[in-house]
Structure formats: C-alpha cells, structure tokens
Structure 1
Amino acid sequence: MNSSVESKFAAPSRCSECGASVGTKGFETFDMSVAPGTRHHALLNSNEPPNDSDSVFIQSVISKADAPLAYLDKEILKVQEKLRQMEDERAALSSYWRRNRGILYPLRRMPPELLREIFSWVLPSNTEALDVMGQALWLLTQISSRWRAIALSTPSLWSRIAIDYSRSQGISPWPLSPIKAQLDYSRKLKIHFYASREVDSRPQIDMFKLLSEHSARWEKLSVELTTEMVPTLVALRDRVPSLRRLWIAWNSADAQVGVPSVDCFQTASSLVDIGVFNQFGSVPILLPGHQLTRYEIDCPLEEHIGMLKQTPNLVEARISIDFHEQVWPDLSDTVDLLRLRRMYISDPAALKYFKAPGLEELALEDGPDHAHFLAPFHAFIDNSSCSLRRLCLVSPTVHTTTRILQSSPSLTELLIIHDEDNSDETNTLIAALTAANPSAIPLIAPRLRLIFFGCEGESHLDYTAYLEMLKSRRTAENCALKSAALLVVDGPKPEAETVRGLHTLRREGLDLLLLEGAQATDEMDSWDYKTPWN
C-alpha cells in the first residue's frame, strides 16, 4: 500500500498538538505510505498475528494518527456548523421569497364567487362525509383569513350534516359544539342521521334533538331509526315545512316493534320525494300523496296500491315488494299513474295492477320463468298504451330480453344489470346482440341507440365478446348505436388489447362510459332509480 494525504498548497506549517504539517488552507498532511516488503506492509495485508515488538510499533503508529484525526474532526465540525448556519439562512430567505411571490399568485385575485364554487367541489360525498365528519370544511377555514371569511359566509357549504353512529365502534364521537357551529353557518339543511344500537342512546337522542331545533330549515332528511329514536322522530309533526326529500330506514326488526305507523310527515307541505326501506318488515307511513313526484318504498303490494292511488302526480316510482309472505290482492281495478315517466318494479307479475300511459323508462327484475315475465310485461304495455324508450333489466335471461326487443319497436335504450351468478346468461346475450354476416340471422334491434352493461358483483363478462359486439353493431348497416357503457364493480378487468379496442371506438365517435368500483355502483343505482342522494 502506498498512499498519503498531502497538502495541495505550499509552505505547510506544523500542528501545535501533533507536530504534523498543516497546509496554508488548513489541510493537514500525514504520511500514510507503507513500503512494500516491510513487516508493517505484511501485517496490513494479511491476517498474520503480530508479535510483541510488532504491537509496540503498531501502537506508536496509531498514536501518531490520533492528533491528526482530532484536528480533522474539529475542522469538519466547523464546516458542519457553517453549513447549518447557511442552511438556516437559506430557509429564512426562501420563506421570505415564497411569501413575497405569493403576493402575486392569481389565487389572491380570484373572485369570491369562484372560490365558493371550488370549495363546493372539495366537499366529500355522502359516504365520505360520514367518515370525515366535515373535516374538509373546517380545514378550508384555516388556510387564510380571507378563505375563512368566504367559507363561513357561504351557507350552502355547511348545509349537509352527516352523522353515523354505527361507524363509531361503540363510542359516541360527535361533540355537540362543532355541529352547533355548522348549524349557525348554514341556511337550508340536508340531514343524514343514522342511529346505532351499539352506542348509548342518550347522546344520539340529544344530537337529533339539537338538529330538530332547526327542523324548519330541513330540505332533506335521511334517517335510520332505533327503537329509542322513534318518539324523537314523531315529535317532528308540523315542524318540517321546507322538507322536500325524506328517506327512512330501520336499524333492526326490534326498532319496528310497537310502531303502528309513521304519521308525522303527512302535513309536510313541501315533501315531494319519499323513500322508505322496510328491510325487516312493513311499517305503514302516512304521506301527503297528492304532492309527491317521486316514490321509493318496499312494502307488500296491497300497501303499495293503497298509497299509489293517492299519488296522481308521480313522475318516478320504485316499487319493491320483496316480502316472503306476499299476498296478491284481487284485481278489482288498476292504479292509474297518468304522469309517471320512470318506474322500477321488483316483481313483473305486479305490472297488471298498474297503468302508466306516459311511461318512457321501465326497470324490471327478470327470472328463469319466462311466462311469468313476458305475459304481464306485454299486458302492461298494451293496457297502458305507452311507448317505452328505455328498458333496464336486472339479472335478465336471453329469452326474455330478445323477445322484448323483437316485440317493442319503440325501445332505443337497453340497460343490463347482472351479477356473478348469471354471467353466462349475460355472455350469451352479448353474443345474441352481435351483428352477424348478412346471410345469417338479422341483427336484433338495430334501432338501439344505447346499450349499457353493468355487473353488481364479481364480473365474469367476456370482454372480448363485448368489444366485438360493439364493433359489429357500429359497422352494421342501419344500426343506430351511439352510446355504450361497461361498468365493473369487482373481479377481472378487460385485457389491455380489449381496452385499446374500446378506446378506438371512442375515438371513432362512440359515446363510451367505462367505470369500476364505487363509481360503477353509483351509476348502476341510477339505472333502476335508487335514491341518488342517500
């Protein structure tokens, strides 16, 4: 080994501590060269153990290096201290630079109206709001005094209050004070309140009573009830003059015990949209039926008929009759829904009880019993004398779908919702919708301008066949296809080549919607008219 650290500058001096030479710029020289062939060189380049005389010599070498090392450590420390000082100075100068540059940012000159619009876009969705409890809004007020003033003076930002005790894991996390502040900053209110049997009922009741003090400003109410909450809800009678939309659900079957009916909203003079989710059993609800324009309730068919006879102005209805002990009433007369434009019904057999001459959109649950579906469907269309434009089928069969398409010339929009259990049936339907060559069977429903497919569960859709179906219809003569959608909540996704093919169709002019996960679920909910705001 032949190495040394030497000064790059002339006229080295001597270190007062070790006697080693120090260059004019402070670089110490220390001779680390070891001549080949010497005992020192042999020890450095092997694992040979030193003898006593070797140890004395090596110890002297180590001792000579101690002082130069200490000197270099001191010099390094000085440099580090200087570096820290420079870094601190730079940080201060950089902060000063940014603050001054910030004076010129366009954001400072942004009109309050535009800031309010931006603020509205950062608000969480209903589901997210239940998790973050309005944190996004409070964060906006901490950015600057101007932002705080604008946010606090915009009532619409504070209108939605979302509280879900079922997410609190046995702890009541909602203190009253921030909710009181939000109530002060708001004007109209959209209340989402979900009670839980796992949390002490007292703070839940106190919270709902606090919100009820402002019930005259409620525009929307979505509430899930426990037994203890029912009296608090009933106390709202004649206190909700601005309420336009109402959604009621029950936390458990026990919550419905002893509740003969809910009658506190019969005098709600602004109520036009009602939803009731009777998962555990049916509790009658008295409504101002003459003013309702939207209806979404699950209950026995006989109760539906009684309520729907009192709702002449309905535009949209979602009729769920999924009760195990369903009793079909005698068909004395039909319910005439003269203004109805959109309807979902869970059992097609119930269609015979209704007439809707202005109906344009219909969503139905299909099943393996083709006659059970097709006969009431065609009877309903004939009795109503309506011209359907859109049809949504949930878990459809190929037989039902193709028969309807062949016999319904007014249909221009087809929406299919399937799950993992009927993926094979859906893949067969895709094949049936594919345009064959001119010598084969004619194209089914060439008038369809819109074809949407969505899978609620794990998708096993043949994406390649789906792409070929779209391509074949786009190139088929006299085919009207303009819009398509593929919605996948879970499961395998299309391969890259299929995705490229879909994007090619989009570039060629096809209005194509591709969604997955929660976005796909939200979009499919709109297909069969589930409450979009709950």
Structure 2
Amino acid sequence: MAQNSLAPAKEDVDDVAKLLLNNNPPTGSQANSILNALPLLSNQLEETERTIHLQDRSMARLKEHRDAITLKISCYQRLLHPIRAIPDDVLRNIFQCYADEIVVETPLAFRDSLDPDHDTVWKLAQVSYLWREVALSSPSIWSDVAIRLPSTLRCGLTFERMRNRLTIHLMRAKTGPLTISLHAECKHRFAIPFIATIASHSERIVDLRLMPKRDNLSFIESMSAMTTGLLPALKRLTINLGTSARQLYPCVTGFSIAPRLCDITVVGDTSNLSFIIELPWDQIVRFRSYFDCAFAVTENPYLFLPEMTNLQELYTRRVVSYDMSDDRNTSIPFTTLHHLRKLCLQTGNGGAPAANALLGRIDLPNIQELELHVLALTDALRGFLSRHSSTIVSFLVKPLGYSMDTCTATIIGCIALLPGLRTFAAHSVSQAVINALSELESNTKMPTLIPDLRYLKLCTGLKLGDGERLVQMVKARSGTLQCIVLHADVVPTLGGAIVDQLRELMAQGLLFEDLRDCLPSSLVGLVDVEAYE
C-alpha cells in the first residue's frame, strides 16, 4: 500500500512543524495551502479507518480460523487417544477400581454420594458420552452409597433434592448388592424420608452403617422398624449408639431376623447392648467395639457382651473391668471364645489391669492372630502367650506411651514366646522391633527370634541410622521372609540408599503404603505399590 494512503508524507509533517514554530497565525499562501490540505487529509483519514476496519475483520476471521484448526487438532488427538481403544469391559474394570478406592473402611468417616460435584462415581458419568454409557451400564460402581445429612444445608440444596439423587443412585445400582452408609447430623424427622427410601431397597443391602450424631436410637429404631424381616442379604451391620445407651430404651428387634448377618461393629457405649438391640448373636463371626467393652458379669444383665457361640474375630477398643478379682465373675463367656481365631485388645488409659485380668483368665484354643495395644509384659500376658504359642502365627503390637527400652524389652519377651510367628506388624515402635530382632541375634548364644517370619510390617518410629540394622535383620531371614511392608512415613527416614538395598534383597516383596501421598518423588515408579493387610 502506498505511503500517502496511510499517513502524511514526511515533508508535510515538517511543514506543519515549521508553522508551529511561528507564533503568528498563517497568512496568504500559507493559509491557502493549509485549507487545500485539509480535505485531502480527511480523505486519507477515512481511507485509513476503512483499512483498519478491514484489517480487524480479517484478523477476527484469522483468529476464528486458528481456533477452529486448534479444536480440530484437539478432536483428532482425542479420537486417536489410546483410551478410546480400550474395550468397554476393561474401562468398566477401571471404573470399578476407582469406585473401590473411595470406599471408606473406617466407620467414623464418610464421603457423600449425593454430591455430584465431589463424588468420583458421578464424575465418571459426566466425562463423555462413552464414559457415561459405560458408567450407567456398570451397576457395581453405584453399589456403595454414602449418605451425609448435614445439620445445615448449603444454599440451593434441599433434602428433597438430596432424596431424588439418592433414588437415582440406587436405581443405577439396579439389582446388585448394596453397601449403605448413613451419616446423619440432622434431626430425626428430616432423615425419615431417606430411611424409607433405603428401606425400599432393603432386600439388596449387604453392608449397613448407621452413624447418627443425635437421637441415635431413634434412627436405629426407624431403620429396624422399616426393614424387619426384609434383610435377607445383610452380612455386616455398623451402629453408633453414642452415649445414649447408658439409658434404658426399648429393645430394637428388627435386625434379629437377618439370616446372613455375621459381622457387627458397635461405635459407642456397649454397656446395655443386649437390652437395647436384639441380634442373631449365635450367627456373629466378627464383633468390633469402638468404645468401652464391658465383658460379661453374669450377675448383672445390663453390663455384658452377649454370648456369641460362633465368634471368630473380636476387636475391643478399650477393656472395662467390673470387679475382675471376684471369682463369681467370668471375663467373657467361654462359649463365646471357643472358636475365636483373631483377638484385638486395646486397654486404653488405665485399662491395663482389666486387660491383664482378662488375658489371665481366658483360653483360646483356636487363636491364630493377636493384636495388642499394650506393651507391658506382665505375668498374665506372658502366661497367655506361652499357653497359645503353638497356634499364634500373626502378632501386631501398638504402644501406649512406654519408653523405648520398655518397648524393646516387651517385644523381645513377646516374640520369644511365639516361635511359630509368621506375620509381625508394629505401629510407632519400628525402632524397638529392629532392636529386638537384631541386637540379641548378634549374641551367638541366643537363637534367632521368629525364625519362620514371612511378613513384616513397619510403621512410624524409625530414626536415622536404623536402616543398616534393618538390612542386616532382613539378610538374616533371607530364606523365609517373603514380604516387608513399609509405611510411607518410614521411607524418608530410611533414605533412598537403604530402600534400594531392601528392594534388591526382597525383589517383589517390598511393598509400600500410602505411596502417592508420602513416598519421595525419586522413588515413584521404581517400586511396586500395594498395601498388605
């Protein structure tokens, strides 16, 4: 484009500059020249404006064309993405892995399946048409339903909308088995419609968790009344009794007619458990208590654990003693413990005497797995381990504020009494474990502790310098040790060099927990990730 079509020539600009240097207005020929130049300049301005407008339109079209090309490239790349070549059944398995990963095992914590913005399963159904089709045709990923009813609703959210989402969620699960978790912070009357909706699918419920924060027994009574005789598939039941169990309430009977119920978890006071809730106790195989566990005092019907003749696993968070020195009292019915294979015993603060009294009284002919939250090696514990040394093959220990020397001595004393131990796990006392398994073995007069050890799990408690001792301990058991599980909190303390040595020694048998959250980035991708329980 010619220069004069876009801007005044340089000489024209210079002429104007010269005129501006003169304080007097132009006269004569100068004035005529300016008057003749104005129309020409106006025409040039209009032409320039038109050119700019055309250029702007052209630029807009070019940008639109660029965006269209970019979008087309992105679409082609998505079409060629390997995930589109994954068969539906494989994609369905991937979805199932995601769904299984978010299932909450702890009965005190729940996600919210009724929040599409934060629930993984709902998000999977919103990514694309293909994913939505696969998600909606996979009822198993919708089978775990966690319902959280808050005391205060967010803006725009109503209980009616939440109930509609619950109905949709249950419909997408189709006819498959259901795991229902109800965490209610609202008043009982607001939860009734949700309980009714859940009850309408009661024949498919396999795992039911009732965790109200208020009016505990009202919630449990409502669910019991609406599902009486309608729980043919129920296997696991978790209930939160809170502290209201200390009062006397009518007995809840609806869950007693559940022919497959075998797993009970109680959160709250179990003092009046048998009076409050009627269950098929002779069917129970696993019983877990997350509060005071009042063992049977036969003279007092309000303070006892019911008799469970087929019980195989017993977990108590805290043992409460009711005059355990009285010979008339039995720690727990022997018929309840005859088939017991796993015992988890936690004393709590000041509960050691009760735990020792319990261990001193009971005999468990079939016990195989023992988990103790007490580290004082008393005569009662020593006697219990000695009596059951031929059957115990798994031992987990957790500390309760004892010194490292006490921990080490207790661990040495315990495992020395269990020659057939195969699985050993320690929480927060890993250093004591290494001390126990390495220091004494340096003395040739001492036999190797746990010679048949196959699985070892170490959590927190290690310090710098413990790694070499751990490596030596592993080398001493290279013929039998099959698996070591390290909690991710331990890995930074050990250091990469020690982890590399352990990896070489254990090959595929070195596993990590919580890798994605805690493992150093230098180790990500170099190890097998799997949680061993």
Q: Would you say same fold, with TM above 0.5?
A: yes
2-structure distance, mates of 1:354, 1:270 = 28
CA shift for structure 1 position 485: 3.1
Q: Secondary structure at the match of 1:129?
A: coil
Matched, 1:380 2:384: yes
Q: Deviations along 1:333-381, whole A, 9 cap, x unmatched?
A: 734644433221224421244332222211012144x32xxx2234334
Aligned match of 1:344 = 344
Aligned match of 2:371 = 363
Shift of the 151–413 alpha-carbon distance from structure 1 to 2, 3 Å rule, reads closer
Q: Is the 8 A contact 1:274 1:294 kept in 2?
A: yes
CA shift for structure 1 position 269: 0.4
Aligned match of 2:350 = none
Q: Secondary structure at the match of 2:506?
A: coil
Q: Secondary structure at the match of 1:411?
A: coil
Q: Deviations along 1:290-341, whole A, 9 cap, x unmatched?
A: 32222213530117996564332x3322134444767566249734644433
Q: Is the 8 A contact 1:430 1:469 kept in 2?
A: yes
CA shift for structure 1 position 247: 0.7
Match 2:122 to one of 110, 131, 138: 138
Matched, 1:111 2:87: yes
Aligned match of 1:504 = 501
Match 1:241 to one of 232, 236, 240: 232
Aligned match of 2:98 = 122
CA shift for structure 1 position 442: 4.3
- 114-123 vs 346-355, which moves further: 346-355
1-structure distance, mates of 2:495, 2:295 = 45
Matched, 1:265 2:250: no
Aligned match of 1:330 = 329
Aligned match of 2:199 = 212
Q: Is the 8 A contact 1:322 1:346 kept in 2?
A: yes
CA shift for structure 1 position 220: 0.7
Q: Is the 8 A contact 2:295 2:320 kept in 1?
A: no
Give the partner amino acid of 2:198: L
Q: Is the 8 A contact 1:463 1:498 kept in 2?
A: no
Aligned match of 1:413 = 423
Shift of the 195–512 alpha-carbon distance from structure 1 to 2, 3 Å rule, reads same
CA shift for structure 1 position 87: 2.1
Q: Secondary structure at the match of 1:409?
A: coil
Q: Is the 8 A contact 1:133 1:162 kept in 2?
A: no
Shift of the 519–326 alpha-carbon distance from structure 1 to 2, 3 Å rule, reads farther
Q: Is the 8 A contact 2:309 2:335 kept in 1?
A: no
1-structure distance, mates of 2:517, 2:256 = 35
- 147-156 vs 235-244, which moves further: 147-156
Q: Deviations along 1:364-417, whole A, 9 cap, x unmatched?
A: 12144x32xxx2234334555742111111106222211122222112332112
1-structure distance, mates of 2:502, 2:384 = 37
Aligned match of 2:412 = 402
Shift of the 72–111 alpha-carbon distance from structure 1 to 2, 3 Å rule, reads same
CA shift for structure 1 position 224: 1.2
Q: Is the 8 A contact 1:294 1:317 kept in 2?
A: yes
Give the partner amino acid of 2:195: F
Q: Secondary structure at the match of 1:275?
A: strand
Match 2:285 to one of 275, 281, 293: 293
Shift of the 407–386 alpha-carbon distance from structure 1 to 2, 3 Å rule, reads closer
1-structure distance, mates of 2:44, 2:504 = 73
Q: Is the 8 A contact 1:335 1:354 kept in 2?
A: no
Q: Secondary structure at the match of 1:205?
A: helix
CA RMSD of aligned residues (A): 4.4
CA shift for structure 1 position 54: 9.8
Q: Is the 8 A contact 2:110 2:148 kept in 1?
A: no
CA shift for structure 1 position 255: 7.1
Aligned match of 1:92 = 68
Q: Is the 8 A contact 2:341 2:367 kept in 1?
A: yes
Give the partner amino acid of 1:430: I
- 446-455 vs 406-415, which moves further: 446-455
1-structure distance, mates of 2:24, 2:309 = 107
Percent identity reads 20
Q: Secondary structure at the match of 1:392?
A: strand
2-structure distance, mates of 1:66, 1:254 = 91
Q: Secondary structure at the match of 2:261?
A: coil
Aligned match of 1:319 = 316
Q: Is the 8 A contact 1:249 1:276 kept in 2?
A: yes
Q: Secondary structure at the match of 1:175?
A: helix
Q: Is the 8 A contact 2:343 2:370 kept in 1?
A: yes
Shift of the 434–182 alpha-carbon distance from structure 1 to 2, 3 Å rule, reads same
1-structure distance, mates of 2:409, 2:152 = 48
CA shift for structure 1 position 55: 13
Match 2:219 to one of 229, 241, 259: 229
Q: Secondary structure at the match of 1:387?
A: coil
1-structure distance, mates of 2:42, 2:469 = 83
Aligned match of 1:178 = 165
| Greater RCO, CA 8 A, separation 6+ | 1
CA shift for structure 1 position 218: 0.8
Q: Is the 8 A contact 1:172 1:203 kept in 2?
A: no
Q: Is the 8 A contact 1:318 1:344 kept in 2?
A: yes
Q: Secondary structure at the match of 2:512?
A: strand
Shift of the 142–130 alpha-carbon distance from structure 1 to 2, 3 Å rule, reads closer
Q: Secondary structure at the match of 1:340?
A: coil
Q: Secondary structure at the match of 2:465?
A: helix
2-structure distance, mates of 1:262, 1:89 = 70
Q: Is the 8 A contact 1:334 1:352 kept in 2?
A: no
Q: Secondary structure at the match of 2:315?
A: strand
Q: Deviations along 1:106-159, whole A, 9 cap, x unmatched?
A: 555543322221222232333673277354333333444444333223221221
Q: Is the 8 A contact 1:473 1:479 kept in 2?
A: no
Q: Secondary structure at the match of 1:502?
A: helix
Q: Deviations along 1:29-83, whole A, 9 cap, x unmatched?
A: 9989xxxxxx99xxxxxxxxxx997999xxx9xx9x9999998887666444323
Match 1:19 to one of 3, 8, 12: 8
Q: Secondary structure at the match of 2:419?
A: coil
TM-score under structure 1 length normalisation? 0.72
Aligned match of 2:133 = 149
Q: What are the ranges of 5 or more consecutive residues in structure 1 without an aligned counterpart?
A: 1-8, 22-28, 33-38, 41-50, 456-460, 528-534
2-structure distance, mates of 1:114, 1:181 = 25
Matched, 1:276 2:266: yes
Shift of the 281–104 alpha-carbon distance from structure 1 to 2, 3 Å rule, reads same
Matched, 1:449 2:457: no
